[in-house]
Structure 1
Amino acid sequence: MNPITIYHNPQCGTSRNVLAMIRAGGEQPNVVEYLKTPPSRDELKAIAAATGEPLRALLRTKQPQYLAQGLDNPALTDDQLADAMVATPVLINRPIVVTPRGTRLCRPSEAVLDILPQPLTQDFVKEDGEVVPARPRS
Protein backbone atom coordinates (compact mmCIF):
# COMPACT_ATOMS: atom_id res chain seq x y z
CA MET A 1 0.00 0.00 0.00
CA ASN A 2 1.28 3.44 -0.91
CA PRO A 3 2.15 5.74 1.99
CA ILE A 4 0.22 8.59 0.31
CA THR A 5 -3.57 8.71 0.43
CA ILE A 6 -5.81 11.30 -1.17
CA TYR A 7 -9.46 11.66 -0.21
CA HIS A 8 -10.62 12.61 -3.68
CA ASN A 9 -13.68 13.79 -5.56
CA PRO A 10 -13.08 13.34 -9.30
CA GLN A 11 -15.73 16.00 -10.02
CA CYS A 12 -13.70 18.68 -8.18
CA GLY A 13 -11.07 20.62 -10.14
CA THR A 14 -8.96 21.29 -7.04
CA SER A 15 -8.99 17.60 -6.18
CA ARG A 16 -8.02 16.65 -9.75
CA ASN A 17 -5.16 19.19 -9.69
CA VAL A 18 -3.85 17.86 -6.37
CA LEU A 19 -3.96 14.27 -7.63
CA ALA A 20 -2.09 15.34 -10.78
CA MET A 21 0.55 17.17 -8.69
CA ILE A 22 1.08 14.08 -6.54
CA ARG A 23 1.56 12.00 -9.68
CA ALA A 24 3.83 14.66 -11.22
CA GLY A 25 5.98 14.24 -8.11
CA GLY A 26 6.48 10.59 -9.07
CA GLU A 27 4.00 9.10 -6.58
CA GLN A 28 1.05 6.78 -7.16
CA PRO A 29 -1.25 7.47 -4.23
CA ASN A 30 -4.00 5.41 -2.73
CA VAL A 31 -7.08 7.22 -4.09
CA VAL A 32 -10.14 7.13 -1.84
CA GLU A 33 -13.25 8.42 -3.58
CA TYR A 34 -14.80 9.49 -0.29
CA LEU A 35 -18.28 10.09 -1.78
CA LYS A 36 -18.42 6.35 -2.53
CA THR A 37 -16.37 5.16 0.46
CA PRO A 38 -16.41 7.74 3.24
CA PRO A 39 -13.95 7.46 6.09
CA SER A 40 -15.37 6.29 9.41
CA ARG A 41 -16.08 8.60 12.32
CA ASP A 42 -12.79 7.59 13.96
CA GLU A 43 -10.84 8.01 10.71
CA LEU A 44 -12.25 11.53 10.26
CA LYS A 45 -11.33 12.48 13.79
CA ALA A 46 -7.81 11.08 13.31
CA ILE A 47 -7.41 12.92 9.99
CA ALA A 48 -8.48 16.20 11.60
CA ALA A 49 -6.09 15.63 14.50
CA ALA A 50 -3.26 14.94 12.04
CA THR A 51 -3.91 18.27 10.28
CA GLY A 52 -3.73 20.10 13.58
CA GLU A 53 -7.11 21.66 12.85
CA PRO A 54 -10.47 21.02 14.50
CA LEU A 55 -12.79 18.55 12.77
CA ARG A 56 -15.07 21.47 11.91
CA ALA A 57 -12.33 22.76 9.56
CA LEU A 58 -12.96 19.74 7.31
CA LEU A 59 -16.63 20.63 6.78
CA ARG A 60 -17.94 22.10 3.54
CA THR A 61 -20.01 24.91 5.00
CA LYS A 62 -21.46 26.03 1.65
CA GLN A 63 -23.30 22.76 1.07
CA PRO A 64 -27.07 23.09 1.61
CA GLN A 65 -26.90 20.07 3.94
CA TYR A 66 -24.65 22.01 6.31
CA LEU A 67 -27.41 24.39 7.37
CA ALA A 68 -30.22 21.88 6.80
CA GLN A 69 -28.63 19.55 9.36
CA GLY A 70 -27.92 22.36 11.82
CA LEU A 71 -24.17 21.85 11.61
CA ASP A 72 -23.58 25.55 12.15
CA ASN A 73 -24.41 24.97 15.82
CA PRO A 74 -21.13 25.51 17.70
CA ALA A 75 -22.31 23.25 20.54
CA LEU A 76 -22.14 20.12 18.37
CA THR A 77 -19.49 17.61 19.43
CA ASP A 78 -16.86 16.16 17.11
CA ASP A 79 -18.73 12.85 17.25
CA GLN A 80 -21.90 14.55 16.04
CA LEU A 81 -20.05 16.37 13.27
CA ALA A 82 -18.22 13.20 12.21
CA ASP A 83 -21.48 11.22 12.17
CA ALA A 84 -23.03 13.85 9.88
CA MET A 85 -19.98 13.76 7.60
CA VAL A 86 -20.10 9.96 7.35
CA ALA A 87 -23.85 9.97 6.67
CA THR A 88 -23.55 12.84 4.15
CA PRO A 89 -20.02 12.62 2.70
CA VAL A 90 -20.54 15.63 0.43
CA LEU A 91 -20.01 17.61 3.66
CA ILE A 92 -16.35 16.51 3.75
CA ASN A 93 -14.07 19.16 2.32
CA ARG A 94 -11.54 18.00 -0.24
CA PRO A 95 -8.99 17.04 -1.16
CA ILE A 96 -7.40 15.76 1.99
CA VAL A 97 -3.93 14.28 1.51
CA VAL A 98 -2.06 12.08 3.97
CA THR A 99 1.69 11.55 3.47
CA PRO A 100 4.60 10.61 5.70
CA ARG A 101 5.41 14.36 5.79
CA GLY A 102 1.98 15.40 7.07
CA THR A 103 -1.76 15.59 6.51
CA ARG A 104 -3.46 18.57 4.87
CA LEU A 105 -6.68 19.84 3.45
CA CYS A 106 -5.15 20.90 0.15
CA ARG A 107 -7.05 24.09 -0.58
CA PRO A 108 -5.48 25.75 -2.45
CA SER A 109 -4.06 22.84 -4.40
CA GLU A 110 -0.47 24.09 -3.95
CA ALA A 111 -0.71 23.17 -0.25
CA VAL A 112 0.12 19.60 -1.26
CA LEU A 113 3.65 20.66 -2.28
CA ASP A 114 4.70 21.07 1.35
CA ILE A 115 3.90 17.45 2.20
CA LEU A 116 5.04 15.60 -0.92
CA PRO A 117 7.98 13.26 -0.29
CA GLN A 118 9.81 14.73 -3.29
CA PRO A 119 9.49 18.32 -4.54
CA LEU A 120 8.21 18.97 -8.04
CA THR A 121 11.16 19.21 -10.40
CA GLN A 122 9.28 21.06 -13.12
CA ASP A 123 6.48 23.59 -13.29
CA PHE A 124 2.94 22.21 -13.03
CA VAL A 125 0.06 23.63 -15.05
CA LYS A 126 -3.37 23.46 -13.41
CA GLU A 127 -6.51 22.69 -15.38
CA ASP A 128 -7.32 26.41 -15.57
CA GLY A 129 -3.89 27.20 -17.05
CA GLU A 130 -2.37 28.64 -13.86
CA VAL A 131 1.29 27.70 -13.54
CA VAL A 132 2.59 26.37 -10.24
CA PRO A 133 6.36 26.82 -10.32
CA ALA A 134 8.61 24.00 -9.20
CA ARG A 135 10.30 24.93 -5.96
CA PRO A 136 13.02 23.39 -3.87
CA ARG A 137 12.05 22.11 -0.45
CA SER A 138 12.84 24.59 2.28
Structure 2
Amino acid sequence: MEVWFNPSCSKSRTARDELTGAGVEVTLRRYLDEPPTEAELRDVLAALRLQPWDVTRMSEPLARELGLRDLPRDADAWVRVLVEHPRLIQRPIVLSGDGRAWVARDGGTLAEVLAAARG
Protein backbone atom coordinates (compact mmCIF):
# COMPACT_ATOMS: atom_id res chain seq x y z
CA MET A 1 0.00 0.00 0.00
CA GLU A 2 1.12 3.52 -0.68
CA VAL A 3 0.64 6.19 1.96
CA TRP A 4 0.77 9.84 1.04
CA PHE A 5 2.75 10.74 4.10
CA ASN A 6 3.77 13.85 5.99
CA PRO A 7 6.22 12.91 8.77
CA SER A 8 5.20 15.93 10.88
CA CYS A 9 1.54 14.78 10.88
CA SER A 10 0.49 12.55 13.78
CA LYS A 11 -2.32 10.99 11.70
CA SER A 12 0.20 10.06 9.00
CA ARG A 13 2.53 8.51 11.56
CA THR A 14 -0.35 6.60 13.14
CA ALA A 15 -1.41 5.18 9.77
CA ARG A 16 2.16 4.15 8.99
CA ASP A 17 2.62 2.54 12.39
CA GLU A 18 -0.71 0.69 12.31
CA LEU A 19 -0.09 -0.66 8.83
CA THR A 20 3.51 -1.71 9.38
CA GLY A 21 2.63 -3.09 12.81
CA ALA A 22 0.08 -5.33 11.10
CA GLY A 23 2.72 -6.55 8.67
CA VAL A 24 1.41 -4.59 5.70
CA GLU A 25 4.05 -3.62 3.16
CA VAL A 26 3.95 0.16 2.93
CA THR A 27 5.51 2.62 0.52
CA LEU A 28 5.66 6.10 2.00
CA ARG A 29 5.27 8.90 -0.48
CA ARG A 30 6.35 12.17 1.05
CA TYR A 31 3.90 14.09 -1.05
CA LEU A 32 5.27 17.46 0.08
CA ASP A 33 8.63 16.51 -1.44
CA GLU A 34 7.12 14.60 -4.36
CA PRO A 35 3.78 16.29 -5.10
CA PRO A 36 1.23 14.41 -7.14
CA THR A 37 0.73 15.36 -10.75
CA GLU A 38 -2.69 16.55 -11.85
CA ALA A 39 -3.33 13.12 -13.37
CA GLU A 40 -2.31 11.31 -10.18
CA LEU A 41 -4.50 13.54 -8.04
CA ARG A 42 -7.46 13.04 -10.38
CA ASP A 43 -6.96 9.26 -10.19
CA VAL A 44 -6.86 9.38 -6.39
CA LEU A 45 -9.95 11.57 -6.23
CA ALA A 46 -11.78 9.10 -8.50
CA ALA A 47 -10.71 6.20 -6.26
CA LEU A 48 -11.85 8.13 -3.18
CA ARG A 49 -15.08 9.14 -4.94
CA LEU A 50 -14.48 12.67 -3.68
CA GLN A 51 -14.10 16.13 -5.15
CA PRO A 52 -10.89 18.11 -4.65
CA TRP A 53 -12.50 20.45 -2.11
CA ASP A 54 -13.40 17.38 -0.05
CA VAL A 55 -9.70 16.62 0.52
CA THR A 56 -8.57 20.21 1.02
CA ARG A 57 -7.28 21.26 4.42
CA MET A 58 -9.40 24.38 4.71
CA SER A 59 -8.10 25.17 8.19
CA GLU A 60 -4.59 25.78 6.84
CA PRO A 61 -3.58 29.45 6.84
CA LEU A 62 -2.61 29.03 3.19
CA ALA A 63 -6.21 28.12 2.33
CA ARG A 64 -7.33 31.41 3.82
CA GLU A 65 -4.53 33.31 2.05
CA LEU A 66 -5.62 31.81 -1.27
CA GLY A 67 -9.28 32.59 -0.59
CA LEU A 68 -10.34 28.98 -1.16
CA ARG A 69 -13.65 29.43 0.64
CA ASP A 70 -14.64 31.80 -2.16
CA LEU A 71 -13.14 29.78 -5.03
CA PRO A 72 -15.89 28.47 -7.31
CA ARG A 73 -16.39 24.70 -7.20
CA ASP A 74 -14.51 24.08 -10.44
CA ALA A 75 -12.70 20.76 -10.05
CA ASP A 76 -9.97 21.68 -12.54
CA ALA A 77 -9.10 24.87 -10.68
CA TRP A 78 -9.08 23.09 -7.31
CA VAL A 79 -6.87 20.27 -8.61
CA ARG A 80 -4.38 22.84 -9.89
CA VAL A 81 -4.33 24.56 -6.49
CA LEU A 82 -3.72 21.26 -4.68
CA VAL A 83 -0.94 20.23 -7.05
CA GLU A 84 0.71 23.62 -6.66
CA HIS A 85 0.23 23.60 -2.87
CA PRO A 86 0.31 19.94 -1.76
CA ARG A 87 0.34 20.83 1.94
CA LEU A 88 -3.36 21.61 1.44
CA ILE A 89 -4.08 17.94 0.67
CA GLN A 90 -5.73 16.07 3.53
CA ARG A 91 -3.54 13.34 4.98
CA PRO A 92 -2.86 10.54 5.10
CA ILE A 93 -4.23 9.13 1.88
CA VAL A 94 -3.77 5.37 1.58
CA LEU A 95 -3.83 3.68 -1.82
CA SER A 96 -4.14 -0.04 -2.34
CA GLY A 97 -2.80 -1.97 -5.29
CA ASP A 98 -6.32 -2.82 -6.42
CA GLY A 99 -7.30 0.81 -6.98
CA ARG A 100 -9.04 1.56 -3.69
CA ALA A 101 -8.19 4.64 -1.64
CA TRP A 102 -8.97 6.07 1.78
CA VAL A 103 -8.36 9.27 3.71
CA ALA A 104 -7.26 7.39 6.80
CA ARG A 105 -7.62 9.99 9.54
CA ASP A 106 -9.62 7.96 12.05
CA GLY A 107 -9.57 4.55 13.67
CA GLY A 108 -12.59 3.28 11.77
CA THR A 109 -11.07 4.09 8.41
CA LEU A 110 -7.73 2.60 9.45
CA ALA A 111 -9.53 -0.58 10.46
CA GLU A 112 -11.14 -0.66 7.01
CA VAL A 113 -7.71 -0.22 5.37
CA LEU A 114 -6.26 -3.03 7.50
CA ALA A 115 -9.15 -5.33 6.62
CA ALA A 116 -8.62 -4.57 2.92
CA ALA A 117 -4.89 -5.26 3.27
CA ARG A 118 -5.59 -8.64 4.82
CA GLY A 119 -7.86 -9.48 1.91
Aligned residue type for 2:111:
L
Q: TM-score, normalised by structure 2?
A: 0.88
Structure 2: 5+ residue stretches without partners? none
What residue identity is the alignment partner of 1:105? V
For each residue in 1:3-42, what CA deviation from the matched residue of structure 2 results, as whole angstroms up to 9, or x when unmatched? x110000001110000011101212211100111111112
What amino acid does structure 2 have at the position aligned with 1:103? A
TM-score (norm 1): 0.77
Q: Matches of residues 17-56 of structure 1 in structure 2 within 5 Å?
A: 17-56=14-53
Consecutive unaligned residues of structure 1, counting only runs of 5 or more, are 120-138
Cα deviation for residue 109 of structure 1 reads 4.4
Percent identity over the alignment is 25
Is the 2:56–2:89 contact (alpha carbons within 8 Å) kept by the matching residues of 1?
yes
Matches within 5 A, 1:1-138: 4-73=1-70, 75-99=72-96, 100=98, 102-116=100-114, 117-118=117-118
| Cα deviation, residue 48, structure 1 | 1.1
